[in-house]
Amino acid sequence: MAPEKPVLLTGASGTIGRLLSTRLAALGWTLRLTDIVPLPIPLPDGASFTIADIEDQQAVDNLSNGCGLILHFGGISTEQSFETVLGPNFRGAFHIYEAARKEKARVVFPSSVHAVGLYERTEILDQDCVLRPDGYYGLSKAYGEMLARLYFDKHAVESVLIRIGSVLPEVPDERILSTWISHDDFVRLIERCAAAEKVDCSVIWGQSNNSRGFWRNDAREKLGWAPLDSSDSQAERVRGKVTDNPVVERYQGGKFIVVDYSRDGFPPREMFPEE
């Protein structure tokens, strides 16, 4: 069932934004799409599109007026310098939550594997694990999670924090056998984010039902969501597709970790190792 109120989708011109624009519009959702660049696909039925910058609070407020749900997929989506990430991902997220507070809207915030990317691949994480971002992009996602918790505690703004692994049509390499989430599973998750009666401030691991997954224990029962797909059937096709970098291959975050990596060897396995 489509939400009664319009839904604001930021980052509509990006890869995930285009997927959601197309699929949610086909489900009858009334979408307000926005991005800083033009929409590269035909405008879906029942949707409007506005070029706007999420660093502009007034623009965000205008777009969110009357919305009951904000899908916040705008911002920088790759590892970049701190100054590049700062405006869109830090200030932009703040503007989204200010708008949500004013409208009493629910927010879906796409966190990331990169918020926990410096855990080794042998570790299985629960939703309440200490965040270990693997770069400035991951740091911005950790900040977004804390921002969401602040706005829930102080202003009762509900959020679903999806720690996205890899939203892709198919698995490209061995690491992503663990982090993959199918397009269908992801769209179904977004539907449940809208339809669930109450979400509070909930964490969901954004992965399909992968036997090689790194993650367990989240709020999926509260949302009424369970992944139906799995990467397992793709394992033989990508066997041996790995890098030759030992840091990349050791950690859940993969290639983002080695951008500007200056440590000799590996960081400690434990966050606070005992003396």
Which residues are known catalytic residues? Answer: 137
CB atoms within 10 A of CB 44: 20
Going by their DSSP bridges, the two strands 31-35 and 7-10 should be labelled as parallel
C-alpha torsion angle, residues 31, 35, 37, 39 (rounded to 10): -20
Sheet of 201-206: strand order equals: 47-51, 31-35, 7-10, 69-72, 106-112, 159-164, 201-206
Q: What are phi and psi of 88, to 5 degrees?
A: -65, -45
